[in-house]
Amino acid sequence: MSAQPTACVLVIGNEILSGKTQDTNLQFLGFELAKLGIRLAEGRVVRDEPAAIIRHVNECRREFTYVFTTGGIGPTHDDITAECVAAAFGVPLVLNADAVERLQRGGRPLNEARLKMARIPRGAELVDNPVSNAPGFRIENVFVFAGIPSIARAMFASAGPMLVTAPPILSASVDAFVREGDFAATLEHIQQRYATVEIGSYPFNRDGLFGATLVARGTDRAQLREVIDEIVAAMTALGGETKVN
């Protein structure tokens, strides 16, 4: 799976770290990227602090095929993502005429604060925001999205054509009513025989019935089916019921 594109999500915002707001963008992006064959390989939640944002943008853009940031592109003083991304790339923020035109569609007076949302790192390309006009942008392999989930989702849809995709990462799963401690050795043997399938075990307790959801991920549907069949057979041999999802 070494040719598979990878991604990192940088969730930017003190409100996520303070516990005020539950992030949901990372889960959404992980799920959607898998459909495009891009593996979300890491996430970081970063405070609204220039040095931290710049450092993480630079570390991650070198390590992953794509970086997606969410949050911090509004008009207020705590919205510093665009200027930090520009600093990370060593380019100035410049007023983007196309972005100004889009902001004018909002029908509100374009004061200094609103014009801030049209200042984009030099060389960046706009990412359309069909929800509220103020655009996101892409610079090299870094995509900068809003934090509000409905807008982040719309921007991801707009950015789709800019991404180099790969065969989708598929998943198959089965619920087994056997305790993890009783099937761990068996499951490990199955994993060892399928190097290109990633098998995860996620325990549950449903009304006192202990078990685990076994998830197989990979790009080869036939192989995933084989792995699930082997897991079902192994769990049955251990005396546990299974339910293929």
Chain contacts with its own copies (rule: CB under 8 A): 9, 11, 13-24, 26-32, 34, 39-48, 52, 74-79, 108, 111-114, 116-117, 148, 169, 171, 179-185, 187-188, 191, 198-203, 212, 215, 217
Q: Which tokens go with 205?
A: 């307790």
CB of 209 vs its own copies, minimal distance in Å: 14
Nearest CA among 175, 179, 173 for reference residue 197: 173
Q: Least Å distance between CB 215 and its own copies?
A: 6
- Min separation Cβ 123 and its own copies, Å: 26
Residue 102 or 217 with smaller CB distance to its own copies: 217
Pick the closest to residue 49 from 23, 22, 21, 87 (CA basis). 87
Q: Which amino acid is at 238?
A: L
Residue whose CB is less far from its own copies, 11 or 224 = 11
Nearer to its own copies, 110 or 122 (CB): 110
Smallest separation, CB 74 to its own copies (Å)? 6
Residue 72, number of CB atoms within 10 A of its CB: 26
Asked if residue 6 lies in contact with residue 38, where contact means CB atoms within 8 angstroms, the answer is: yes
Kindly tell me which of 114 and 138 has the beta carbon lying closer to its own copies: 114
| Among the listed residues 76, 40, 69, 66, the one whose alpha carbon sits nearest the alpha carbon of residue 52 | 69
Nearer to its own copies, 3 or 112 (CB): 112
Q: Which residue has the tokens 């401690």?
A: 181
Would you say 144 or 190 has its CB closer to its own copies?
Answer: 190
Q: Min. distance of Cβ 144 from its own copies in angstroms?
A: 17
CB under 8 Å to 170, separation ≥6 — which residues? 217, 218, 219, 220, 221, 224
Count the alpha carbons within 13 Å of 245 in the hemisphere toward its beta carbon: 12
Is the separation of the CB atoms in 75 and 108 below 8 Å? no
- The answer to whether residues 70 and 12 touch, using CB atoms and an 8 Å cutoff, is yes
Strand 119-121 to strand 93-95: parallel, antiparallel, or no bridges (unpaired)? antiparallel
Shortest CB 25 distance to its own copies, Å: 11
